[in-house]
Chain A
Amino acid sequence: MKTVRIGNGCGFWGDSLDAPIRLAQRGNLDYLTLEYLAELTMSILALQKQRDANAGFAGDFIDVLGRLAPILAQRPNLKVITNAGGMNPHACAQRAAEVLQRAGLKHRIAVVSGDDFLPRLDSLLPAHPFMNIDTGEALASVRARVVSANAYLGARPIADALALGADIVITGRVADASLTVGPAVHEFGWAWDDWNRLSAASVAGHLIECGAQVCGGLWCNWREVSDYADIGYPFVDLSADGSFAISSDAGPGVNRETLTEQLLYEVGDPARYLTPDVAADFTSIALDAVDARTMRVHSARGNPATSTYKVSIAYRDGYMSSGTLVLAGPDAVAKARLCGEVLLKRLGLPFDRSNIECLGAGACAPRILKSSADPLEVVLRVSVNDQQKAKVERFAKEFAPLVTSGPPGVTGYTTGRPPVREVFAYWPALIDKSAVVTKVEMLP
């Protein structure tokens, strides 16, 4: 019985540069997927592209591809699918082609685009108000500050690219799970309304999209991971009926606990996990342990996809800065709070928002968990946000004086003034699929 092995070697931009290489070497894959785009990555890439027409994609991919080249030479049937194209998939593909050419490889590259509708935003706006899914507001209120607007495309253009003979598919914004669904549909020839199988492949894609998180990363029973240094990255062996086995190339592998933790990660209603391809029902799947590091997933059901794509729109929302100091000795928490309050009082500026935290004293879930003992030291973290950059810059200069003019036990001021960064807020909305034109192009 034919199975197709799809592995994911990258869960976000910033993930391990070695993992995809190891996975390609050890995983015996048919397809390697690499996922680079978090919700707000697109806004950063959009600004990079504004400054440089050849920028705006995940540059890490180019380095990874260079290191993958010798493996691609040995395993000519290994295909690579990535959303590293970000805001500029064509420029990314151009750089990728140069890398392959230098390595003497004849792999064919396809570019999937059409997700970026910022150039058409104003012509779309009258008919498509882009209501914020969370607040119900119309986009008009922040239109002037929008820096990027992208639809989450589905698996279809990826499957189309593979059908055209692509060995490497580079996309812009595509739903993470669709990076897996695309090759599955291409290999098995499933219909685009075969909801159960599309659902099954979407479960597979969702499970591997965050890399190591399904095979030991973040696992609550972390003591059972014998070597986090080589944690392993995941792959699935998909069958024509949509069922699959899931494991990893090293580390603890996939067990019931690691799988179920990741299955529900960043999920709303598990019975309706919406992707561009299908409404997947995670509550329908059945799990069987194959061995200590392999699980089998089957019986997935799905419902018809919706008529809309999710879109992510990012807009400018002022400036932000966070600085830290260490407070040690008796009453560390009280001294840290005092320092934070003194800092803001000395500035005397009204900020849109500010926050004082004592890391080490329950800041991660504020006022939920209380520590019984007085900690030996805490990290004071003060953060501000304001529409005016000058105010935030002034804030960043007020940390150092506390080293000599605050309570005793202040240290840890060695990294200089905290950086001031521009804030991009996220505007989740929907767009009719009919308003988006996806494009698949083969590089000559």
Chain B
Amino acid sequence: MITLNQIAHGRSGDKGNHANIAVIAYTPAGYAWLRDFLTADAVADYFAPMKPTRVERFEAANVLGLNFVLHDILAGGASRSLRIDTQGKTLALALLQMQAPTPAGVEGMFRCEG
């Protein structure tokens, strides 16, 4: 198994009561694999306990990025949420801790230092 953060980095934030999570591959090979593996449905399943009403996925191939919008996941958003992470700032790190079956050619997906 791998953890997604071995082949990708990312960031998350809020848009009202929705959160966005960007997952950015370290290499083109990693992006090609993530594009197939990390579908909107997969992300919706992963976050199902937090009850998003809908998950959309957008592709930004030029930066090897997948951008997910998780609708209504913030329990009210910045001003109304009773949660500690009112703005979904930590959700990217949670997604990047997802476990996945080791892809073929994984050695071409790791971060190249420097």
**Which A residues are within 8 Å of any B CB, using their own CB?**
38-40, 134, 218, 220-221, 257, 260-271, 282-287, 314, 317, 320, 322, 353-355, 357, 359, 363-369, 381, 383-385, 423-426, 428
Interface size class of B (residues with CB under 8 A): 35 or more
A364 & B5 in contact (Cβ 8 Å cutoff): no
- For A220, the closest partner residue in chain B by CB is B9
Expressed in whole angstroms, the Cα–Cα distance for A353 and B81 within the complex equals 10
Among A40, A260, A365, max chain B CB count under 10 A is at A365
Q: Classify the interface of chain B: helix, strand, loop or mixed.
A: mixed
Q: Classify the interface of chain A: helix, strand, loop or mixed.
A: mixed
Among B10, B46, B69, B83, max chain A CB count under 10 A is at B83
A263 & B5 in contact (Cβ 8 Å cutoff): no
What is the distance, in angstroms, from B25's C-beta to the closest C-beta of chain A? Answer: 10
Expressed in whole angstroms, the Cα–Cα distance for A188 and B50 within the complex equals 48
A368 & B9 in contact (Cβ 8 Å cutoff): no
Expressed in whole angstroms, the Cα–Cα distance for A357 and B78 within the complex equals 17
A369 & B62 in contact (Cβ 8 Å cutoff): no
Residues in A whose Cβ lies below 8 Å from that of B67: 264, 267-270
Q: List 10 A-B contacts (CB under 8 A).
A: A220-B5, A263-B60, A265-B22, A270-B58, A282-B63, A283-B62, A287-B63, A365-B47, A368-B49, A369-B97
Residues in B whose Cβ lies below 8 Å from that of A268: 15, 20, 56, 58, 67, 69
**Contact of A381 (CB < 8 Å), options: B5, B49, B64, B84:** B84
B94 contacts chain A at the CB level, 8 A cutoff: yes
Considering only residues 68-91 of chain B, those with a C-beta below 8 Å from chain A are 69, 75-80, 82-85, 90-91
Q: With A220-B9, A267-B22 known to touch, is A365 a contact of B94 (CB < 8 Å)?
A: yes
Expressed in whole angstroms, the Cα–Cα distance for A220 and B92 within the complex equals 10
- For A282, the closest partner residue in chain B by CB is B60
A283 & B59 in contact (Cβ 8 Å cutoff): yes
B60 & A134 in contact (Cβ 8 Å cutoff): no
Q: With A261-B11, A264-B60, A265-B13 known to touch, is A320 a contact of B20 (CB < 8 Å)?
A: no
B58 & A269 in contact (Cβ 8 Å cutoff): yes
A261 & B24 in contact (Cβ 8 Å cutoff): yes
What is the distance, in angstroms, from A363's C-beta to the closest C-beta of chain B? Answer: 5
What is the distance, in angstroms, from B65's C-beta to the closest C-beta of chain A? Answer: 5
A366 & B79 in contact (Cβ 8 Å cutoff): no
Expressed in whole angstroms, the Cα–Cα distance for A97 and B47 within the complex equals 51
What is the distance, in angstroms, from B35's C-beta to the closest C-beta of chain A? Answer: 14
**Contact of A264 (CB < 8 Å), options: B14, B22, B46, B50:** B22
Residues in B whose Cβ lies below 8 Å from that of A320: 80, 82
B100 contacts chain A at the CB level, 8 A cutoff: no
